[in-house]
Structure 1
Amino acid sequence: MKRTVSPLSIFFLVLALSFFGCSPPQELSEPDKPFNLEDTIGSVAKYYATNSIPVRGIGIVACLSGTGSSECPPEIRAELEKYIWQEIPEGGSVSPRRVIDSQDTAVVEITCLIDALSTRSDRFDVILRPLSSTQTTSLDGGCLYTTELKEMSRLSSIEQFVRFSKTLAFAEGPVYTVQTDASSPGRWRVLGGGRAKQDSSVKLILDTPDFMTANAIRNRINERFGPKTATSVSTAEITLSFPAKYLQQRERFLAMVETLILGGNSEILSNYAHQLVKQILSNTDSEQAEIALEGIGKPALDPLAPLLTHLDPAVRFHAGRCMLNIGDSRSLAVLRRIVQDKNSPYRLDAIRAVGLSAKRREAMPILEAALNDSDIQIRLESYEMLARLNSHVISGRSVSSGGFSVDSVMCSGPKTIYVYRQETPRIVLFGSPLRCEKNIFIQSEKSSVTINSLPGDKRISISRKHPDRPRVIGPLLSNNDLSILIQTLGEQPDIKSNTAVRPGLAVPYAEILDIVKTMCEQGAISAQFIAGPQAELEPVLQESPSK
């Protein structure tokens, strides 16, 4: 009996995206030979491999304060004007030529990588740069109009690129400025501004085309994960879709499919499960054994249950997470203790397992307690899982004009401000309500924003120099709740009177982060400021053709 579990390989986890369309299912040929019921899917088929797809687009950034340019190569101008006409609502009076000619707009190149496992619900960062043939000096404070992103191509002309390259994604949203040293050129991004046009699909290719094996693989996958997860295209190809349960664990799902054995009778599954349990007990490829046991499903629960009381914490963790992922909550007590153990190397994995697989009412107390931890990574993982579960301890404010949100998290532990700088722009306030001190005077870099309050003031005064006119916007008044102050900074000033949204000063997200950081450093807010990582997208720019 073949009992080895296929190793999780990065090469085999990447896949072909179905952006070029899927061919209709073909009539399967007659069976060639019987298959071995004890084979794993990974031993007879492999994922069709490809890398992430680089895409590129030409678009327009608006809302600049005289830092744009009217220059635009003729062949690009013609295509942009055509696209603008298509996007203008019926009866609209916008002149595409005037839009491009304005000093408050800039023609830009947009590039990014679409992950091989992306779906339409995902958001990813895109990177922008002005065309080198123009006089655009800055994209700070701008907003990217909706732009089509197409597969990077060797086509020689922009007209050929626009007409013949496949549209794979779209990008739009407020521009985020990446701060660099004075000698480095600026970098501009739209955080979470990209979205794929279609869901990706996985192509599983049989090593040897065979009717019976292809049918067995399809049936086994659908039996375990639900109808239509796998579709037979031919005797050599099966297409997979991600089940809803595994949208947040796509690589785990693909690894699990590889470990499924073709035979599904109880005796074969029982023998397979006991062999995998022995692997966990011996700490031999425990991660892979756990994934394979999860693939077996409920028949694996009885062999796993005794491991919950094992002396080895690694054995308890792998058994506990596996049982919870299968749907058995007996392991929650084990995972709770792991989350609480500050010396356990499995804390983050346990939090994620509880957040993704436990019932909401059972997960909430474990995750809420972890918010009080002193380790910021533990707090962040708990926060993200609780946000997914719509926990009452998180209250959010959406700043629509800035394309970001402010989440206030009720918890004890160190008061901390954590800012996201990729994919989903957010400011998270741990230990809310976070309040500003009285008697403060803060000015942003270049003194464009002033925040001021005297000892006896009940409100904080906020004003901003107009970006392209010799006047001051404001002052607007805010109370000392930091979340409201941030909303006042970021929201647009021309909010309609019939909405509950507070008017603001339209300060860009990147500048707001700098202001909040300065307030922490100068003692205006008693909290630690932590900036999250930024995606490394520069290599895409280097591969992109210059203008």
Structure 2
Amino acid sequence: MRKPALMAAILGALACLAGAVAADVRIKDIATVEGVRENQLVGYGLVVGLNGTGDSLRNSPFTEKSIEGMLERLGVGNLSDDRIQTQNTAAVMVTAMLPPFARRGSPIDVVVSSLGDATSLRGGTLIVTPLTGADGQVYAVAQGPIAVAGYAAQGNAASITEGVPTVARIENGATVENEVSFNFGSLTSVRLNLRNPDFTTATRVAEAINQQMGPGTASALDPSTIEVSTPGKAQTPPFLADVENIRVQPDSTAKVVIDARSGTIVIGAEVRIDKVAVSQGGLTVMVREDPEVSQPPAEINIGGTAVVVPRTSVGVEEKETHFTILEGDVSLQRLVDGLNAIGLTATQTISILQAIKAAGALHADLEII
């Protein structure tokens, strides 16, 4: 399929999707309950059992100090006067996300990342590592064999690396040791935070809750926050379960999102433009270099040298320029039809949308990612 035809098909499909009636969505899909969130955990530890791919202790003195401290805690004598030469150990940073309402004994996944100059963590085992939160308290302890997705191999004259062998995961590698207290029963109200702040959506959410749960139950405080009164005690969880399944129709701002790297263009349903004339075409100049090597005959000049002779060809191609009129205050369907009528590639469409925005005729946010 040619690029203009493919672009036309993509824009046409987007227009059909946006032209359909906006669907109602559940409140749980557009909002979160304030305070119900994950917490970041971090720890410093050692990975042992590596096959000679660990830290070189000369370049990573913190690894050597950590090994000495670990062995002393395990009852091994003072090693400060002895030089450790092992290359089977690597210092790592261990990170994890503590889910909301995680209870003691619950397992969580951890990510292990090399801190020194280790070349691979494949085959290693993480030694007991406390994981602390932002408040400095230990909330989990991690340990176990790690799984590396990437690999690295090298010889005397060549090497190959696939993925990142110095980053690994441990599924269910940490155990929660401390809980984050959060008692819903003691709350007289909760706040819902919209993922995409909008006054219209916040008002619709509050109205939908009041219609289902009774007048005065919810009120919109700002574009992203809706305060909901709760019955308290044991009734709060089932009450919130009913609230988060109420359906509303969210609103959105007019926006055009462009991914210039892949040529993807997404146009919102509320995008409007003033009447403009758009042309596509122009002058193309092609310059081509074809250098040739001139070698003198051996029988004429034995001591002669080869000379590179430059050869340049220049061509000019002029395309027919034509205009397409895009009517003012058009719908998304007519805007797409107008762009498709020109037969544009993705790059040309992006340039035209940027030019329409610069002319002040595109009434939408233009976001380039």
User: In which range does the TM-score fall when normalised by the shorter chain?
Assistant: 0.3 to 0.5
Structure having the larger proportion of residues in strand: 2
Structure having the larger proportion of residues in helix: 1
* TM-score normalized by the length of structure 1: 0.27
- The one of the two structures with greater contact order (alpha-carbon pairs below 8 A, sep at least 6) is 2
* TM-score normalized by the length of structure 2: 0.38
